[in-house]
Amino acid sequence: METSETTRFIRLRVDLVLEVPDPDALTGAALEHIKADEYMPEDERSHAEATVREDEAEALAYLIDPTDLVAEVPGVELAQASWSTEAVDYDPDSLEWDIDEEDGVFNEEDDSA
């Protein structure tokens, strides 16, 4: 089979750390999003609203949809998507948070040993 006849799958991994300086705005936007969802059953809506009020990470999960990242990309079709959110202790100076560490690439600034 020629390459042009085979389907190619590519896994895109995106890892974001977001700061939430205005948790009330985040929660309010998530609540509005839930309220506007006309297909959400009422019992699920009540649960979603309670969850969003208790946890900023859950509020963010109601607002971010990874399918939006590729919806307008020409030549691709989304095969599968999943995502999760969690509160983290973030220290930008810690090696644990070095985004280049995972793929073996190191920043030139960090190479001064």
Q: Where are the domains positioned within the chain?
A: 23-72
pLDDT for the residue 72: 93
Please report the pLDDT score of residue 100 as a whole number: 66
Q: Which residue has the higher pLDDT, 40 or 13?
A: 40
- The yes-or-no verdict on residue 108 having pLDDT over 50 is no
Among all chains, which residue has been given the structure tokens 């390459």? 3
Q: Which residue has the higher pLDDT, 108 or 49?
A: 49
Q: For residue range 37-65, what is the model confidence (pLDDT) as tens digits?
A: 999 999 999 999 999 999 999 999 999 98
| pTM across the whole model | 0.72
pLDDT mean across residues, the chain: 85
Q: What are 104's two structure tokens?
A: 């073996």
Kindly tell me if the per-residue pLDDT of 1 is higher than 60.
no
- Nearest alpha carbon to residue 45 among 53, 55, 37, 54: 37
98 has pLDDT over 70: yes
